[in-house]
A and B are shown apart, each in its own frame.
Chain A
Amino acid sequence: MRLSDFTKFPHPVLSPFTGDFLSGEFSVDFDVSENLKTGSLFLRHNIVLTHPDVAYLVASGQAVVGCLVKCSDTYYNELRLLSYPDGNVDFVPGSLLNKVSLRPIVWLSTELQRWSPEALHSEFSVPVFMGLGDVIAIGAESEISVGQAKLASIESIFELNNSSEVEEGEVRVDLEGDRISILVSPTVFSVIELLRQREMAVVLNSIYLPAVMEVLDRLQVDHSYDEWRWFVPFMEKCRAKGIAHESGVSILEGAQKLLELPALKLDEVIKE
């Protein structure tokens, strides 16, 4: 069944479009979180339901809050249940893209033989019979634009490479490419990959910090990397942080400035 702002049900519906109740509000605020890595999407919602009788039906489980999620680009068209009064809903990566409409509704999960809600418009005579599945509240439609994460993402100038030419346990840095490449053996590569998921602070201090020191060290003697894409953003950041590329300047100090004192993050490792 289509549902619009202009659909008129033969029973009272709490909505900004009906005027069936003289007081009370139903609306849902949505906050979106898009994961840059996985593309998964979370909707955090907060339900405002101020009509006491409708709110009671939801709180007691006699009515259910849901949201019609519709995306014309992916043909996603589903009713998702919303936890009351707030909660999260997640979506599989790729299921939503670009314009997505969110229409909150409340419907009955039980029959109400003689419902006498307060502040009911006089053109409905109480008590009213409400059937199982009857829509009792419709909120204003909200809209989100999915895919903003990609637009907001700034490409990193670093990459980690698995190289069989690197000896076990050794870490090398290659500046001859569009990204600064950290080269490690296959075994170390796997370990770093795992640590990136679980203990980023360890990787930051044990791998990235020395790698950045290595870059600063090389830049003190050689500025011939300006043809590579990583060069300009790296140098700009050094300038912003007041890091000079001259002999005698501490590369440890410079690397710590660039990585914003990574040792401070180590306490995350020992926290429960």
Chain B
Amino acid sequence: MSGVPISYYLILSAVLFTIGVIGVLIKRNPIVIFMCVELMLNAANLTFIALGRHFGQINGQMYVIFALAVAAAEVAVGLGIIIAIFRTKETIDIDEVNLLKL
């Protein structure tokens, strides 16, 4: 669409990113923390796309594709880790998981 200045998109993605940061720092359930990380990734992707569109280059979208792929892989492995931790300790409260040795 036309008529929306790029800075609005940037502001929006900054806000979303900040919300994601707050979530990472506040929540205690690692899965929810993970979800907030995904939110942060998405905000970054939005920035990429917006700036790519602003400068008329394809690079922004390329970065996003790969970021997307990596995010997916990361989620898979991360959830695997969480499952593994949950099997050893019955809780996944992140404050309880404060020892290097489980």
A binds B: no
Chain B residues close to A by CB (< 8 Å)? none
